[in-house]
Structure 1
């Protein structure tokens, strides 16, 4: 750690309120800090225990701290290891939690021992007891800031995320609360003090729990951590000093200022939601999961709308996951977390936990910050490099009111601020709808962190909602319907753009039939036609939105007349293995690799994980990952573990003019186990052994059922010779159960009329004239095109060659 620190220049910049809102520009000198490495640690004297539902019903579990859990086998293990105390994680007498979904937190206990123990050994011993649903260490979490190294050429983040335009719509509501779970705050900071939430149910400093929420005098948040030397919770949320190795004890103040620092006050910085309120929650320096889960429950129970978590590291925790889901799903509190600063694609917890919006960091030029974690598990990103915000001048290391810091720690409260704007503007939206507005930001390139947050776009949700068509009847007009939401905008036009069998796109206008509901009609088409289409809406300023969002590069597609109106070039019901590769050299899964046969099926409790039956009517076989024992107790057996496993097709060759449609049924589940919803399913296609793989489908969504998928390959590629597809199931670790299966794979074509194999000249006869046409085609004297090529391929193997001639001669001679 270098000590050549740059001292902050305390010049104050005064600006008019109007100028402050529209042109916030401060030039500061920067502070050099060093990055803190991510540590994986847990409490040396504590573990979590979750009692099974069956044991909880049969046992009188303790309601308060005690010396036993009232389960003999468990109590013996605890006693011989020096048990001090068993206490429920939460006070179930809290009336705010009565009758609500606690995600099993009412059966979680914190077990504390009198001296450091072998935590992994205790966890192993307890896990063998039938009354225990799970036991796990009480993990420790770290701050995830990445301090700045040099003087800053400021590129102000409000410009990047269009805060100023958003402020013309809303500056946040004082009824919207942002909880900052962090190191505490400077409660006297001039750019924060007016935006702190004060608990109206509590009379300050009277020593009484006036609002009966279990916390005495929690007027201004709560300190769940205490100090290093005295880990006792209290109501003092100011920072403690001299515990952090890189002097970031005022990290919470910096995050609070980004989210909701006071605006329009002619000093310092301004937060994204500068009229919303801050609920300061102190969880450091003793940031173990028992402290954090208690803090999350408090935040959720006491009315916070958004929870900002700029910390993490260490393994996934089932207990922490339950607290997150309680906050989000039971209490309607958005949970937002920093994706971490390891520059890695590995999942970082709790950002990667179910129910959390994970936030990566970008630079002023909208590139991925070098330190930011990334990957498909990161939901969105926000500026996180050189972000100026509030700091605590009481910090003995710098004594500054403002500093510029880097990190996903800074990106996280920025998204929390935008979330507060969204909640202020649309208080009645569901939490899923609010998250959708946040995630649908700006596409700034392939940075593998979702889209970059756009505050203005989030609070002006000009968008098209449309249920895509999958098929239509032949020879009838095709009706397309959509809802167009454009609050405060003057819609100028709404169109359907459509293409028939890959022809150039045409358009028809849509008409508003009822408020916000629009209908248009694509002209009638014949059976066996492929229709691609997308919707476009534009306002009077030429602001344009599309459905699907990636249009026109990405479109919807449907089949006129349904699948049965199309010719099957490949029709593989997988009752035999027709040269499919069950694994490729790039695979690294340690178990659960692809197999062919009749699957036994697996379950997690009553939920199917692997199918017991194939999809084909009256069939038996399919491709599946790992054959488990045929048993009703084979939970998780032979699932995919340790990496990826690939099912790859043989090469298929199709005649010129064919526009292939790929259809298949697949089964994919990753929703069971300790870390549901993280692992990936991918389907890819290429042309030729040297061709690049093109992704058709990539998802982490689990469906414990056979699901049909259809892809019009000309949307993705232009060359269809030596076509090959592959299916990839991948386990990313963390304890989830990953299973996949594939069946009934077809490649169809419908852009050509039906034909009779062998009748090359369409005269309804198969004779010497057809033989001559095929010979001329093979010798390239007179190449065939269109249907004639398909008819010349008499044995339907994808090639026109001598074998077709021999078969036709035999047919003619025998006929």
Structure 2
């Protein structure tokens, strides 16, 4: 059965003259930004992302900042003589963000301005958990234990497909407890930048051995300690080591390598750091030719961000899928947009959560045209760090959420890519959506009307 796949909507291009006429039209979507602010969407207090128009001069950009009385906090994306930079600014105390966004929409040197939105993760709080019946999300119709509403990963394993050799996945989330007994062998080690205090590969991140912590600006991807449980949990679903008689098994037992793009912390994460994480993976693929097929994005919140959508678009150009949680507030995303899963870019796969009995999870958001597929997300056991006597040790826990459904799909992307060398992001997305099993609870709720099925991958 073929399904009408969601494709990217082409936004209207605004071409500024070289003289940056005062009649230049603002880019971005200030209407959606202002709607998000009016709805009370969370954002970093007083912070504003400003994308300067291509061709604007350094003097013009400085004049904009000085006119606002703003402090420049960071350059999120570098500009040059032709491309305008994306800057993070702090407004003076008491300056209204909505009024500033509206004013900058009329500034000929500014393409768009938007708040630095805040995001949160989408979870509510012979491998032992597989054998005892707990790991239902990996089961298939004919596996033992069996569950027809699982992802059917066990059937792919039974056919001999347990390794995702040569495939790399980015985890944009909290950090990862990389020494976990069920993850350590599947964590990437950067051969291009060994730990020597030097940025050997010139990507701007010194000793990014296993990835980068964009929230703390450090190479410690487990800087949150035991609080990096969410990022560790989704990682175990993608790549928990299988066949080792311990804990859980991920969709990919071995071969796959996980790279951390940590941007969520105790207070959530920001648009600016999410963009940096996405572009980090885009650059790794372009710079080193890493076979990064997908990033897992089990987070959401905030309003519309043109800057974030542009970063996802750059990932699409790099051939990287952006697999995203639909959200946990039980509403229709067709009616009320939920970001980032609602961005219409062609590389986005939006994931709803299902239960072990085939229902749409009570918390899961849905969308007949904006959510693509369902996957196991209720009662999902996976890896977590546990603090014991002042040390971090390997643990396991059951979480609920579209956060937990999403890595099942990310694991599926890795599994398919490993058995289909040369498959494009579009090919992998088509395979995942095209193999969905029709499911009554998802009919009219998600684009495919079905749930994840990796048995043929």
Does the residue aligned with 1:302 lie in a helix, a strand or coil? helix
Following superposition, the deviation at residue 154 of structure 1 comes to 3.6
Are residue 332 (structure 1) and residue 319 (structure 2) matched?
yes
Question: Cα distance 1:106–1:375, how it changes in 2: closer, same or farther (>3 A)?
Answer: same
Tell me if the contact between 1:384 and 1:408 (Cα under 8 Å) persists in the aligned partners: yes
Tell me if the contact between 1:392 and 1:401 (Cα under 8 Å) persists in the aligned partners: yes
Does the residue aligned with 1:392 lie in a helix, a strand or coil? strand
Does the residue aligned with 2:89 lie in a helix, a strand or coil? strand
Following superposition, the deviation at residue 293 of structure 1 comes to 0.1
Q: Summarize the alignment of residues 348-427 of structure 1 with structure 2, pairs less than 5 Å apart.
A: 348-355=338-345, 356-376=348-368, 377-394=370-387, 401-427=395-421
Q: Which residue in 2 is equivalent to 1:200?
A: 191
Does the residue aligned with 2:77 lie in a helix, a strand or coil? coil
Measure, in 1, the Cα distance between the counterparts of 2:430 and 2:282.
Answer: 21
Q: Summarize the alignment of residues 488-637 of structure 1 with structure 2, pairs less than 5 Å apart.
A: none
Tell me if the contact between 1:50 and 1:108 (Cα under 8 Å) persists in the aligned partners: yes
Q: Which residue in 2 is equivalent to 1:296?
A: 278
Q: Which residue in 1 is equivalent to 2:10?
A: none
1:328-365 alpha-carbon deviations (Å, 9 max, x no partner): 2x211111000000011033110111221100000001
Question: Cα distance 1:39–1:434, how it changes in 2: closer, same or farther (>3 A)?
Answer: farther
Measure, in 2, the Cα distance between the counterparts of 1:212 and 1:400.
Answer: 34
Q: Taking structure 2 as the reference length, what is the TM-score of the superposition?
A: 0.78
Following superposition, the deviation at residue 90 of structure 1 comes to 2.2
Q: Summarize the alignment of residues 102-501 of structure 1 with structure 2, pairs less than 5 Å apart.
A: 107-113=85-91, 115=93, 117-147=95-125, 154=134, 156-159=136-139, 160-167=150-157, 168-204=159-195, 206-226=196-216, 233-240=217-224, 249-275=228-254, 276-285=256-265, 287-303=269-285, 304-328=292-316, 330-345=317-332, 346-355=336-345, 356-376=348-368, 377-394=370-387, 401-440=395-434, 441-447=436-442, 448-449=445-446, 450=448, 451-457=450-456, 459=457
Following superposition, the deviation at residue 444 of structure 1 comes to 1.1
1:200-238 alpha-carbon deviations (Å, 9 max, x no partner): 10112x100111111100011100001xxxxxx010010
| Cα RMSD, aligned residues only | 2.5
1:25-76 alpha-carbon deviations (Å, 9 max, x no partner): xxxxxxxxxxxxx9821122321222233xx1xx334xxxxxxxx21xx645
1:254-279 alpha-carbon deviations (Å, 9 max, x no partner): 01000111112111101101221111
Question: Cα distance 1:106–1:295, how it changes in 2: closer, same or farther (>3 A)?
Answer: farther
Q: Which residue in 1 is equivalent to 2:24?
A: none
Question: Cα distance 1:155–1:200, how it changes in 2: closer, same or farther (>3 A)?
Answer: closer
- Higher-Rg structure is 1
Following superposition, the deviation at residue 421 of structure 1 comes to 0.4
Does the residue aligned with 2:269 lie in a helix, a strand or coil? coil
Tell me if the contact between 1:181 and 1:280 (Cα under 8 Å) persists in the aligned partners: yes
Tell me if the contact between 2:177 and 2:228 (Cα under 8 Å) persists in the aligned partners: no
| More strand by percentage | 1
Question: Cα distance 1:105–1:413, how it changes in 2: closer, same or farther (>3 A)?
Answer: farther
Report how many aligned residue pairs link the two structures: 380
Q: Which residue in 1 is equivalent to 2:57?
A: 60
Question: Cα distance 1:105–1:187, how it changes in 2: closer, same or farther (>3 A)?
Answer: farther
Measure, in 1, the Cα distance between the counterparts of 2:313 and 2:63.
Answer: 33
Q: Taking structure 1 as the reference length, what is the TM-score of the superposition?
A: 0.44
1:652-690 alpha-carbon deviations (Å, 9 max, x no partner): xxxxxxxxxxxxxxxxxxxxxxxxxxxxxxxxxxxxxxx
Following superposition, the deviation at residue 106 of structure 1 comes to 5.3
Tell me if the contact between 1:239 and 1:250 (Cα under 8 Å) persists in the aligned partners: no
More displaced stretch, 406-415 vs 167-176: 167-176
Does the residue aligned with 2:365 lie in a helix, a strand or coil? coil
Tell me if the contact between 1:183 and 1:239 (Cα under 8 Å) persists in the aligned partners: no
Following superposition, the deviation at residue 117 of structure 1 comes to 3.8
Tell me if the contact between 1:89 and 1:106 (Cα under 8 Å) persists in the aligned partners: no
Task: List runs of 5+ in structure 2 lacking aligned partners.
Answer: 1-38, 126-131, 140-149, 286-291
Q: Which residue in 1 is equivalent to 2:41?
A: 40
Does the residue aligned with 1:184 lie in a helix, a strand or coil? coil
Following superposition, the deviation at residue 446 of structure 1 comes to 4.2
